[in-house]
Amino acid sequence: MARPREFDEDAVLDAAVQCFWSRGYEATSVRDLATSMGITGASLYNAFGDKRSLHRLAFDRYVDRSIADRIRRCETLAPRAAIDAFFGEILARSLGDPECKGCMMVNTALDVTPDDPELRAAVAGVLVRIEMFFLDRVRAGQSDGSIADALSANDLARHLLGALMGVRVLARVRPERDLLQGIVRSATALLDGASPRSGSSA
């Protein structure tokens, strides 16, 4: 008969998320994880397998409790309000993190190695999910008139995804309010039909 686990699985997985999030996959050792999780290395292996398996569990947990949760909440809002709320939360998280950890999903995208196609596919899947959220809200907004249709819904969704990635990467090294808000402002201005100025300024 298997022995019951002598720890709170939710709590130790949350600790693993924080460890991987702050250090990155490569720089995180099993000892780091065991210490952060408050369990022995043997318990870690018995409960979660190797480091790669635990990282995938931590990654999925982060995505579900952060990105997927934000999408679930925002997609119930009116189209333009949903996009504004999404970026509002991103700015708050980016500017309110004293450790400048950025986004674990984005960090993983930058950290993933070519010999881990499964993780690459998982990250790509999350990026597609975000893009589809933007695409759905843009299409709905163009339908009800709250979002301009000067650009295609696909191009706007991709532009918003690119702006999001830029904000989350910059937040790690330049978490400056004016910088990050300016990126979001210029990206969402396209939803109102604004276009970049051409030629010299007036």
**pLDDT at 77 exceeding the cut of 60:** yes
Average pLDDT over residues 51-75: 95
Residue 86 belongs to a domain:
yes
| Residues with Cβ within 8 Å of residue 156, at least 6 apart in sequence | 134, 138, 147, 190, 191
Average pLDDT over residues 132-144: 98
Closest CA to 13 of 60, 50, 46, 52: 60
How many domains would you assign to the chain? 1
From residue 163, give the alpha-carbon distance in Å to each of 91, 95, 126, 179.
12, 16, 16, 12
**pLDDT at 4 exceeding the cut of 60:** no
What is the pLDDT, as a whole number, of residue 8? 84
Question: Could you identify the residue written with the tokens 């597609």?
Answer: 128
pLDDT band, very low/low/confident/very high, at 200 (cuts 50, 70, 90) = very low
What is the pLDDT, as a whole number, of residue 115? 78
Closest CA to 165 of 139, 141, 134: 134
Q: Please say whether the beta carbons of 142 and 148 come within 8 A.
A: yes
pLDDT band, very low/low/confident/very high, at 114 (cuts 50, 70, 90) = confident
Residue 141 belongs to a domain:
yes
Q: What is the pTM of this model?
A: 0.88
Residue 37 belongs to a domain:
no
From residue 167, give the alpha-carbon distance in Å to each of 13, 120, 160, 161.
27, 21, 11, 10
Domain that holds residue 170: 59-192
Residue 9 belongs to a domain:
no
| Residues with Cβ within 8 Å of residue 129, at least 6 apart in sequence | 67, 68, 71
Helix then strand then coil, in percent of the chain rounded to 5, is 70, 0, 30
Residue 98 belongs to a domain:
yes
Residue 25 belongs to a domain:
no
- No. of helices (H) and no. of strands (E), the chain: 10, 0
CATH of the domain at 84: 1.10.357.10
Average pLDDT over residues 153-175: 97
Residue 129 host element (H or E): helix 117-144
Average pLDDT over residues 125-132: 98
Question: Could you identify the residue written with the tokens 């300024």?
Answer: 201
